[in-house]
Amino acid sequence: MDRKTKAKAIELLVAKKKDPSLTYADIERKTGYSRRQLIRISKRIDERGAAAAGALGNAGRRPATAVFDSFYF
């Protein structure tokens, strides 16, 4: 999914915490995410907050395939 869809899902999951009448099925239909993915995103919102839930987990890390600086001549 793209960033806009993920942002919309996060927005709806935050709204779900305030309004329990909003169901995962409603959010599934609006965003296209599966229920399991929505539960994972919801846990990430609880742990990191809504702003950080949309970020990639690998952000800020050096790539595993990166060449060491000492390798260059």
- pTM confidence score: 0.71
> CA-CA distances (angstroms) from residue 3 to 9, 27, 31, 54, 72?
10, 16, 11, 8, 36
| Helix spans in 19-71 (H) | 24-31, 35-48, 50-53
Give tens-digit pLDDT for 6-50: 899 999 999 999 998 999 999 999 999 999 999 999 998 988 888
Tokens 């709204």, residue? 15
Instruction: Decide: 41 and 53 in contact? Cβ < 8 Å.
Output: yes
